[in-house]
Amino acid sequence: MLERELYDVPVALEEFSEALKEREEDFWDEEIFADQLRMDENTGNMKITRGYKVENEHGIQHHALSQIGTKLKIPTDYLLRCPTDLRASNVNHWLNSIKHKRLFIRHDKNEIRAVLTMKYSPVSNSKIVECVKSYSNRFNHGTNNLNVRFEVSALKMSCQIFYPEQKTEHVGDISTAGLHIVNSEVGYAAAEVSGVILRMVCQNGLIVPKSICHWKKRHVSKQHKIIYDMQRNIGSILELLPSVLDQFYNTKLLNIESPEIVLSNLIKRFKLTNEQKTVIEDKYNSSNRWNSPQYTDLFSLINLFTWGGNHKNLKLNAREELQRIGGKLLTYNKSDFARLARLESA
C-alpha cells in the first residue's frame, strides 16, 4: 500500500492511515549513552552494549550513518569512501570523545534508522494523519470522503489530502484543494502543513506559498504541543483555500510577454537543478505552441512547472520544489513579469 509516489491517483485517507499504523509495528526506540554504541570493523554494522551483554548487530541506514558523522564531525562522504575497518576506527574513536552523551536511537526491525539527541521529540506519521482526521471529524468534514496521494520513504512522508467541499469549476476545468503535509520520523524534516491545489484534468499539484498559508514546527517541542498547534492551524489554512482557488483561475487573465525569456529567467531565479531544467525545457519545447495566445498567460506558465512536479524521472524533493514554484508564481504580478521579460536571458 505504501509503495506509491506523490503523483499517483489519490486513495482513501482511511486506507493510508491503516497502512501507516501497520508499517509502524516494525519501529522501536531506545535511549543509550554514546559509549554503548560501536561499529563492527568487519561488517560495518553497529553493536549496542546493554548491561554486560552485547546484543545482536544492527544494520545502519544511510541517513543514520550521516547523523553519526555529523555528531562526530566526520564528513559522510568520507565515511562512505572508507574501507569498513577504517570507517569503524574513525567512528569508534570519536564516539569515545562523547561517551557520556545520551542518544535517542530509532530502529526499523533490526536496522538503526536514526541517531538523534535527547532534544528530539518524535511524532509519527500516523499521529500526523490522525490529527487531520480528528480535526475533520470535529468540524463535520468527515473522513470517509477524504482522499490522499502520498509518498513515504525512510526519510520523510509527503502527503496531499483533498477535501471534496474545497472544489471549484472554471469552464469545465475542475480543481480541488486541501492540505500538503510533510513529516519525518528520523530528523530529516520538520512537521509542516501548507495548502495544495489539484487540477483534476491533469493531476498537477500546486503547493500554496508560505506567504499565503503555512505552518511548520521542528521536532523539539513536546509531541502533544506539536499536534495541538498543527490542529489549531489546519482550520485557518482550509479557510483560505477558496480564495486561493479563485486566485489560481484568475491567473488566466495575466498575459505573459516574451515567455521564452521569462521562463529562462525563472529557471535561473529559482535555481533549478539540471534535471529539473531539462524536464521543464523539454516540455516547453515539445509543446511548441507558446506563440499561441492561450500559452502566453500565467495559468499556462504555472501548469508548466506543476506538470514537472509529476515527472517520474525526478525525485520527490525535486518534484515538490516544482509544485512550490507553481505556488510562488501565484503571487507574481504584471510588473514582475515585465521585469523578467526585460532581463537578458541565459
What tens digit of pLDDT does each residue of 166-218 get? 888 888 899 999 999 999 999 999 999 999 999 999 999 999 999 999 999 99
Residues 18 and 36 in one domain: no
User: What does the alpha-carbon distance between residue 251 and residue 265 come to, in Å, rounded to a whole number?
Assistant: 19
Residues 220 and 127 in one domain: yes
Residues 129 and 214 in one domain: yes
Residues 164 and 266 in one domain: no
Is 80 exceeded by the pLDDT of residue 141?
Answer: no
Q: Could you tell me the end-to-end alpha-carbon distance of the chain, in angstroms, rounded to an integer?
A: 44
Report if residue 5 sits inside a domain. Answer: no
Residues 197 and 298 in one domain: no
**Predicted local confidence at residue 51, as pLDDT:** 74
pTM of the model: 0.92
Per-residue model confidence as pLDDT tens digits over 60-106: 999 999 999 999 999 999 999 999 999 999 999 999 999 999 999 99
Report if residue 249 sits inside a domain. Answer: no
Residues 144 and 20 in one domain: yes
Report if residue 45 sits inside a domain. Answer: yes
Is 60 exceeded by the pLDDT of residue 345?
Answer: no
- Listed residues 191, 214, 240: the one ending a domain: 240
Report if residue 6 sits inside a domain. Answer: no
Residues 316 and 296 in one domain: yes
- Listed residues 214, 240, 266: the one ending a domain: 240
- Listed residues 116, 133, 155: the one ending a domain: 116
Report if residue 245 sits inside a domain. Answer: no
Residue 1 pLDDT level (bands cut at 50, 70, 90) = confident
Residues 16 and 138 in one domain: yes
State the average pLDDT over residues 315-333. 97
The three state secondary structure string of the chain is CCCCCCCCCCEEHHHHHHHHHHHHHHEEEEEEEHHHEEECCCCCCEEEEECCEECCCEEECHHHHHHHHHHHCCCHHHHHHCCHHHHHHHHHHHHHCCCCCEEEEEEECCEEEEEECCCCCCCCHHHHHHHHHHHHHHCCCCCCCCEEEEEECCCCEEEEEEEEEEEEEECCEEEEEEEEEEECCCCCCCEEEEEEEEECCCCEEEECCCCCCEEEECCCCCHHHHHHHHHHHHHHHHHHHHHHHHHHHHHHHCECCCHHHHHHHHHHHCCCCHHHHHHHHHHHHHHCCCCCHHHCEHHHHHHHHHHHCCCCCCCHHHHHHHHHHHHHHHHCCHHHHHHHHHCCCC
Domain with 192, as residue range(s), is 11-24+122-240
Residues 299 and 192 in one domain: no
Residues 96 and 196 in one domain: no
Residues 20 and 159 in one domain: yes
State the average pLDDT over residues 295-323. 94
Question: How many separate domains does the chain show?
Answer: 3
Residues 187 and 49 in one domain: no
**Predicted local confidence at residue 346, as pLDDT:** 44
Per-residue model confidence as pLDDT tens digits over 108-127: 999 999 999 999 999 999 99
Report if residue 248 sits inside a domain. Answer: no
Report if residue 276 sits inside a domain. Answer: yes
Report if residue 90 sits inside a domain. Answer: yes
Is 80 exceeded by the pLDDT of residue 47?
Answer: yes
